[in-house]
Amino acid sequence: MEVGKEGTKDEILYQPILKTGRGFYILFGLLGLVVLVALFAYFTQFRYGLGVTGLNSPIFWGVYITNFVFFIGVSHAGTLISAILRISKAEWRRSITRSAEVITVLVLFFGLGNILIDLGRIDRVFKVLAHGRFQSPLLWDVVSITTYLTASSIYLYLPLIPDIALLRDKVQGRLRKRLYQVLALGWVGTEKQIHYLEKSISIMAVTVLPIAVSVHTVVSYVFSMTIQPMWHSAIFGPYFVAGAIFSGIAAIIVAMAVLRKVYHLEDYFREVHFNNLGILLLTMTCLWLYFTFCEYLTVFYGAEPDEIKVFMEKLTGKYAPHFWFMVLTCFIIPFVILANRKTRTIKGTVIASISVNIGMWLERFTIVVPTLMHPRLPYGEASYSATWVEWVILAGCFALFAMIYMIFTKLFPIVSIWEVQEGREKARLEVTERLRTYLPL
C-alpha cells in the first residue's frame, strides 16, 4: 500500500493509532479505578436517594448543577476554534480543530449526565419526553443540547472522513480496517467528493454557531427565568455564553498541552498556537471581568434588600473565599500571565488555563448556591457542604472524559492530517490570492 511522499512527513500523527505504550494502559487503568469509585458513589445515591449528597432545603441545587453548567460551558471549545476560525480562514487552526471538536462532543455527554444524576427520579426521565412542557426552561435545555450534540457530532465527523480514509489504507488489522472502511464512506478524494465535503463543512460551521450560542443561553435561562435574587438578571445570557467560550478555550489549551507531550506533537502544536489561543484567552478574561463587574455593580447600586443579602454572602460572607478565589483564578492569574509576551509561553498558557477552569467552576458554584441560601422569607441560616458522593462523581466525570478522549486518540488522528496536508499544498497560493484582493501587490 503506497503512502504518498507527503504522507511520511505526518507519520507521527499515525503513531498513536498504530502503537500503544505502557504509559497509556497504566493511566487508563488508574482513571478506570476512579470511574469505578464514582459509579459506586452514584449507586449509593441511586439506592438511598439524594439524601447522600449535601443538598437540603432551601439549597436544592449544588455541585451537580454546577457541573452541568460547567461541562456545557466547556463544550463551546470546539465551536469557537473550529467554526469561527474556519469561517475566518485562519490558517493556524488546521492542526487544532480536531482535538477541540472532540472535547465538545464528549463533554456535552457529561453535562447531560450531571443533570440526570441530579434528578430525584432518574427512572422517570422519559416522562420528560411524554409530558414535556415547553414553558419550562428545562425543556428548552433538552432540545437545545440535543440539537447541539447532533450538530457538533456531525461537525466532528465530516472533516474526519478523509482522515479515516487515510487510516483505512494504512492499517492492517482486520477489525480496524472494517471500521474505517465503513466510516470512510468510500472516500477517495474525487473532485465531487471534496467539493461536497467542503460545502457541507461550511454549512455546518455556520449552522453550529447559533446553535452553540443558544445552548448556553438557554442554560442560563434556567436561572434567569426565575424571580430569585441575583438569578433574575438580564445579563445571564451573554454572561454564560462568554464564560463558556472562556472555559472552552482554556480546556483546549490544556488538552493540547497534554497531547503535545504524550504524543510528541511539538511540530503541530507549536508556540504560535498556544500564543494565539493565549491571546484569545486574554481577550475572554477581560470580557469576563467586564461582565462580572457589570453584574455586581448593578446589584450593588440597586441595593434591593433581597439581592444585597446574596451579594454580601458572596463578597464577605460564607462564600467569600469561593468568590474571591474565583476572581483570582478567572482574572488575576490569567491576565498577569497572558498580558505579558514573555510569560505567554506554552507553560504559561497552560497554567492560566488550569486556573481559568478552576475559576469557572467556582463561578458556576457561586451563582447557584448563595442565591438559594437566602430565600426571600426569613427562614434562618442554611448551609451547604457537598459530600463525598458529589466530589467523587465530579472526579469520575473528569476521569471518564479523559478515558474516552484517550480511546478516541487511539482510533482516529487527533490532528487533522488531510487539513494539515491541504495547508501545506494549497494554502500558500490561496493566502497569496487573498492578499492580492486586499492590497495592491
The residues in 113-152 that bind other proteins, with binding defined as CB under 8 A, are: 118-122, 124-125, 127-129, 131-140, 142-143, 146-147, 150-151
x-or-dash pattern for other proteins, window 367-406, by CB under 8 A? -----x--xxxxxx-xx-----------------------
Report d(CA 16, CA 414) in Å as an integer: 9
Q: Are 130 and 384 within 8 A, CB to CB?
A: no
Report d(CA 189, CA 211) in Å as an integer: 30
Among 19, 22, 192, 342, binds other proteins (CB under 8 A): 192
Alpha helices in 75-183 (DSSP H): 76-78, 85-87, 97-118, 127-131, 137-157, 160-170, 174-183
Which parts of 207-226 interact with other proteins (CB under 8 A)? Answer: 207, 211, 222, 225-226
Tell me if 298 contacts other proteins by CB under 8 A.
no
Report d(CA 331, CA 323) in Å as an integer: 12
Look up cell 465538545; give the residue.
104
Q: Are 309 and 374 within 8 A, CB to CB?
A: yes
Tell me if 87 contacts other proteins by CB under 8 A.
no
Q: Report the residue number, 29 or 132, with the smaller CB distance to other proteins.
A: 132
Residue 324, number of CB atoms within 10 A of its CB = 16
- What sign does the dihedral 250-387-222-366 (CA atoms) show? negative
Q: Report the residue number, 272 or 377, with the smaller CB distance to other proteins.
A: 377
Tell me if 161 contacts other proteins by CB under 8 A.
yes
Tell me if 51 contacts other proteins by CB under 8 A.
yes
Among 33, 90, 182, 407, binds other proteins (CB under 8 A): 182
Among 227, 272, 429, 441, binds other proteins (CB under 8 A): 227
Kindly state the cell numbers that stand for 222.
Answer: 434556567
Q: CB of 245: closest distance to other proteins in angstroms? A: 20
Among 26, 90, 203, 435, binds other proteins (CB under 8 A): 203
> For 328-338, b where at least 16 C-beta lie within 10 A, e where not — what string?
ebbbebbbebb
Among 60, 92, 109, 324, binds other proteins (CB under 8 A): 60
Tell me if 321 contacts other proteins by CB under 8 A.
no
Tell me if 185 contacts other proteins by CB under 8 A.
yes
Report d(CA 16, CA 408) in Å as an integer: 10
Among 89, 178, 347, 436, binds other proteins (CB under 8 A): 178
Q: Report the residue number, 22 or 133, with the smaller CB distance to other proteins.
A: 133
Among 15, 200, 343, 345, binds other proteins (CB under 8 A): 200
Among 17, 34, 160, 197, binds other proteins (CB under 8 A): 197
Half-sphere exposure for 165 (CA within 13 Å, toward CB): 14
Q: CB of 110: closest distance to other proteins in angstroms? A: 18
Alpha helices in 316-387 (DSSP H): 320-327, 333-339, 346-373
